Amino acid sequence: MSFMLRATAILLVFVSLQGFAEGDASAGQAKSAVCAACHGADGNSMVPNWPKLAGQHEQYLVRQVSLIQSGARPVPEMIGIVPGLSPQDIADLAAWFSGQTKSGGVADEAQVALGERIFRAGNAESGVPACMACHGPAGEGNPLAGYPAVAGQHAVYTGNMLTRFRSGENWGEGDASSQVMNGVAAELTDAEIAAVSSYIQGLYLKSE
């Protein structure tokens, strides 16, 4: 993962966020019923296939819903939901979910050693970089660069996304962050994906 590609990702995400409306969390709560079936009323999905939205960076949520709405990020389950959302709706929903507390998860102890090694150091032999280089040592992410908070996320969801990134899936030339993930995941083995996904599920973000 080159410095130039990461710098480009930061710049593109920063520029793309400039036109977004300011979100109102109270309004977002009132609009969130349609999201609750999959993501939970407070953004803590009970189904491991669907991501937890609680505590995610507001800008990241706005960006991802906008990508889904444009068709750049294909999520078939949301096809019938996102077309009717206005930019203000998206901003309000993002404000609401970002302000909720993400529930924790538990890592498989048998996979912690490998998962922690990949998360904190990567795999020098295969060229896999450390996850924490972009997502932070506690999995807190980097909102300016467009890298999400990952701590506590469902292992099933994280594993699915890493597998898809490894296969080359990304969200278009205008989304450098997902292209970065293509390079990051390219050399991950199935065992490494399973282990680091489980480790991430067991990470906890400290509340302020």
Indicate if 52 and 88 belong to the same structural domain. Answer: yes
Please indicate, yes or no, whether residues 190 and 153 belong to a single structural domain of this protein: yes
Within a domain: 7: no
Q: Which of 59, 74, 98 is the last residue of a domain?
A: 98
CATH no. for residue 117? 1.10.760.10
Q: What would the DSSP string read from start to end of the chain?
A: --HHHHHHHHHHHHHHTTTPPPP-HHHHHHHTHHHHHHH-TTS--SSTTSPP-TT--HHHHHHHHHHHHHTSS--GGGTTTGGG--HHHHHHHHHHHHTSPPP-----GGGHHHHHHHHHH-BTTTTBPPTHHHH-TTS--BTTTTBPP-TT--HHHHHHHHHHHHTT----TT-HHHHHHHHHHTT--HHHHHHHHHHHHT--PPP-
The range of the structural domain enclosing residue 67 comes to 16-98
Q: Pick from 48, 74, 98: which residue ends a domain?
A: 98
Report if residue 122 sits inside a domain. yes
Q: What is the pLDDT along the chain (208 residues), one digit of tens a residue?
A: 454 444 444 444 544 444 557 999 999 999 999 999 999 999 999 999 999 999 999 999 999 999 999 999 999 999 999 999 999 999 999 999 999 999 999 999 999 999 999 999 999 999 999 999 999 999 999 999 899 999 999 999 999 999 999 999 999 988 999 999 999 999 999 999 999 999 999 997 544 3
Taking the whole predicted model, whether its pTM rises above 0.95 is answered as no
